[in-house]
Amino acid sequence: MNSNPRQKDYFNEKAKVWDEITIHDLEKVQYIIELQRIQTGDKILDVGTGTGILIPFYEKYLRDGKVVAIDYSEKMIAIARSKYPEKNHPMISFVVSDVYDLNYYDEFDLVMCYSCFPHFVDKPLALQILSKALKRGGSLVIAHSDSAGKINSVHMNTGAEIKNDFLPNMEQLHSMIKENGLAVTFTRDDERYFICIARKLDE
């Protein structure tokens, strides 16, 4: 299964100006990262990395860990690579991949979906694939540094390519997560954040 090709074209078209038109409150991003209690040797899957907004935050904590940063937009990945060349950032590997093409199993301590979950065409299938990628005891994070209402409104009014890319409500998200052997450990759903953290059960 592939994502919406028009959606991918939209992100490829916007890649060159993405950092100019998309403003992240870095203090709010830091709060999301701090919730994860990243360990120095963790292996992280950064889903929908875009132009690499989270890379410097991971590098604050990792020493001998690894980040696999994926995005289906090859032009977004090209920008991310230009900002964080892998030869100078040896813990980072950038990969052009659709989430539905991933084939990881029990590999990651943390799977981070920051500002990307609404764009998954089949959200239950995406969660199934990402939960398989987690190690036992690892965490899956779905996070936005804005409210669900604002995120959904922005998408609805941005353009035809992403106008139907909505966050589910938290109750719906919890249900999808639990169906994949994960236990919700933290939620925040208010005017400042939409955050859901779940842990992969040991058994």
User: What's the mean pLDDT in 118-132?
Assistant: 94
Q: Does residue 2 register a pLDDT over 70?
A: no
**The CATH number of domain 5-15+44-200 is 3.30.565.10:** no
Of 195, 181, 199, 186, give the one whose Cα is nearest residue 142: 195
Residue scoring higher pLDDT (158 or 16): 16
Q: Does residue 156 register a pLDDT over 80?
A: no
pLDDT one-digit tens code per residue, 57-105: 999 999 999 999 999 999 999 999 999 999 999 999 999 999 999 999 9
Band of residue 28 on the pLDDT scale cut at 50, 70, 90: very high
Q: Does residue 128 register a pLDDT over 60?
A: yes
Residues 52, 151: Cα–Cα separation, whole Å: 20
Work out the burial of residue 104: count CB atoms within 10 Å of its CB; fewer than 13 is exposed, 13-18 middle, 19 or more buried: middle
- Burial letters 27-46, b for 16+ CB under 10 A, else e: eebebbbebbebeeebbbbb
Q: Does residue 1 register a pLDDT over 50?
A: no
Band of residue 22 on the pLDDT scale cut at 50, 70, 90: confident
User: What's the mean pLDDT in 132-158?
Assistant: 84
- Structural domain boundaries in the chain: 5-15+44-200
Query: How would you classify the pairing of strands 66-71 and 43-47?
Result: parallel
